[in-house]
Amino acid sequence: MVTIRADEISKIIRERIQQYNTEVKIVNTSTVLQVGDGIARIYGLDEVMAGELVEFEEGTVGIALNLESKNVGVVLMGDGLLIQEGSSVKATGIIAQIPEIDVYRKKLELARVLVLMLMILISTARVLVSTDSLTPNLNR
């Protein structure tokens, strides 16, 4: 017969208590009321912000745009074919944004310079053509 000593049991319990994680994560979850044409109506996302990303239980992501008192209108960022009435959706706490990347800014600046150079070239060509018509043609 195996004997268990009280000090062994209390040691195991103490170790388990020390390893216990008391962190609580609050997730804002809700229910789909209606879905169609790339829009989902959600009930219960009380704390969602305009432009916040939401995630549906089957993985589709959407952006909360129409914040009404009873429901939230979400634009789906995927086909959403598996989203059904009653499906779960959760707020992510992340606001949708387009990051400003230096490469794009540099390309835009380069495009502006090229357009300016093209405009200067066109206006120079117009001046040359107009002065060319004033010069008499001596080969006639």
Task: State the residue range of the domain holding 36.
Answer: 29-95
Q: Can you give the C-alpha Rg of the chain in angstroms? A: 33
In total, how many domains does the chain have?
2
Same domain membership, residue 90 and residue 116: no
CA-CA-CA-CA torsion for 13, 15, 20, 21, nearest 10 degrees?
A: 170
Give the confidence band of 139 by pLDDT, cuts at 50, 70, 90: low
Report the distance separating Cα 55 and Cα 88, nearest Å: 9
Per-residue model confidence (pLDDT) at position 127? 74
74 within domain boundaries? yes
Report, as an integer, the average pLDDT of 28-51.
91
> Both 43 and 77 in a single domain?
yes
- Inter-residue contact 91 to 52 (CB < 8 Å): yes
Q: Do 81 and 118 share a structural domain? A: no
Report CA-CA distances (Å) from 106 to 109, 111, 117: 5, 9, 16
